[in-house]
Structures are given as C-alpha cells and as structure tokens.
Amino acid sequence: MTNKKEEMDRTIKEKLAPKKFIKNPINGTKFTLLISSAKGGVGKSTIAVNLAFALQNLGMKVGILDADVYGPSLPKLINLNKKPESKDGKAMLPLEKYDAQCMSMGFLVEEQTPMIWRGPMVISALKTMTQKVLWKDRDVIVIDMPPGTGDTQLTFAQEVKIDGAIIVSTPQDLALLDVKRGIQMFDKTGVKIFGLIDNMSFFKGDDGKEYKIFGEGGVEKTAKEFNKNFLGKIPLNEDLRNSADKGDPLTHSDPDHEVSKIFINIAEKIKQAFQ
C-alpha cells in the first residue's frame, strides 16, 4: 500500500516539476551560431548569409541553416533551388553552393506554396532540419532565424545546443524594444549572446557624409544596458542589397568591398568567441 502511495507521490512530483530540456547538438559541425532578432525585416537573413561567407573567408568550413519555415529566404539569397537528396527517406543531404552546405524549408516546398502550418508541425519541421540533415565536416553552422520570440525561437533556445547568438537590430526605437525582449529570452534559456549588430546604421552619400536614417547609437546603448558586446555597424548599402538580390552575397562575390570588410571584422570577433 505505502509503495503504491510513494509511487503516486513520485509521479505527481515528476509531472509538476519544471520541464527539463535536453539540448541536442547539431551533428557534423563544431560550432552553431544563431542570427536572430525579435523584429522582422531588420536584415537577419542578409547578415546571416554575409557573416557565413565572411567566416568562410577566415578559413572556416561553413553551413547555413535557414530556420524560417514560414518565409525562407536562403534559396533566393544564394540563388539555389533544388530538392535535397535522401538515401533512406529520412535523413537529407544538405545542398552545396559556393563551398557552403545549405538547408532551407524553401528547398523542400514550392516557392509559391503558402506555409499554413500550426505550431506542432513547425516544431516537427524544425526537428527534421536540426536532427535529420547530414552536415559534414563543418566548423560552423550559421542559423538564420525567423522574426519573433515564438515556437521556433523557443525550440532552438531550449532544445538545440547553441554556442552563441547574435542579435541584429536597426537603431530605431521601435526595433530596439523587440531587441530587449530577444535578449531576455536568450538570457532566460541560457543561450550565450555573443553580441549585437547595428544594421542599416547609416547611409554614406556620394558626398562622403554619413546619414543616420534610422537614428543613432541605440543598438550600442542597448548592448551596454544589458552588458552585451557591441559587434559593429553595417551601413545601408546598395551593393549589399544588389548582391542579395542576385543570389551571390557580397562577402563572397566581393570580399574586398568596404562593407565586406566590416563583416569580416565582425567574423573575426565571432571566431574568437568560439575559442
């Protein structure tokens, strides 16, 4: 009788205990880097892809995982749209472009197909993307996150082993509010934040002057406020946008460009943070 009661007590205790998450590593890579921002349209995908090739420029073997299930950008950003192969119908081989291994939901569905999925389906797709891709021999996988602090972000923060997260923002007050939410989510889930990047920081005119279109200094100030590193400022730049539209990221097509050099400088800091 007492045994049964003890057993019931134990079961109830286990059920009520806060859920412990196991953080599974992504196989086939030494390091995993998240590029994130709670705000949409601030340049996460542009920065993820350009940072990946900046890290490649420093001699690292890179992979890029597009975790935006609803709005994948990777196929367009690297001009690649093929179906990944699978030998056993379960695990997939990543595609390869510019010596980077790549995976995106966009390779698996038609471009025009709207993703009308509920949360559990998204989580199941993310499990496939993190556990069933046969990455090989990578130094780092750069993950391009969707905007927000929803299912995708929580799944990555709680259930995937992440070495570091980078938060991207524009200097606008509106964007910074979301950045603060993002910082708190990573802090709460024990994901190390490598630092913040200020994107569309300024526009350099033909007159050589820097125009601060979205305001000034806000990202650096937020980094200080939350005791995080400030990694650098990326200008609003036509060549960066053009190369993205062409499907050949600037840090790959023109690593000597002044904007590529800023990315490479940030990549050096990231590489050091991995040590």
Q: Which residues bind ligand ATP (CB under 6 A)?
A: 40-46, 68, 71, 73, 146-147, 199-200, 234, 236-237, 240-241, 244
Least Å from the CB of residue 85 to Mg ion: 26
CB of 24 to ligand ATP, least distance (A): 25
- 45 lies in the site for Mg ion, by CB under 5 A: yes
**CA nearest to 143, candidates 90, 215, 80, 94:** 94
Residue with tokens 């460009």: 257
Tokens of 223: 């980094």
Look up residue 242 and give its two tokens: 């053009």
Which partner from the list Mg ion, ligand ATP, none does 52 bind, CB cut-off 5 to 8 Å by kind? none
Judged by CB, which is closer to ligand ATP: 29, or 73? 73
> How long a stretch of residues is the chain?
275
Instruction: Name the segment binding Mg ion (CB under 5 A); options: 7-15, 70-78, 126-134, 260-268.
Output: 70-78
Q: How far is the CB of 269 from Mg ion (least distance, A)?
A: 22
Interacting positions 72-111 with Mg ion (CB under 5 A): 73
Query: Which range binds Mg ion by CB under 5 A, 29-37, 44-52, 109-117, 220-228?
Result: 44-52
Min CB(195)–ligand ATP separation in Å: 17
Closest CB 81 distance from Mg ion, rounded Å: 17
> Binding residues for Mg ion, per CB under 5 A?
44-45, 73
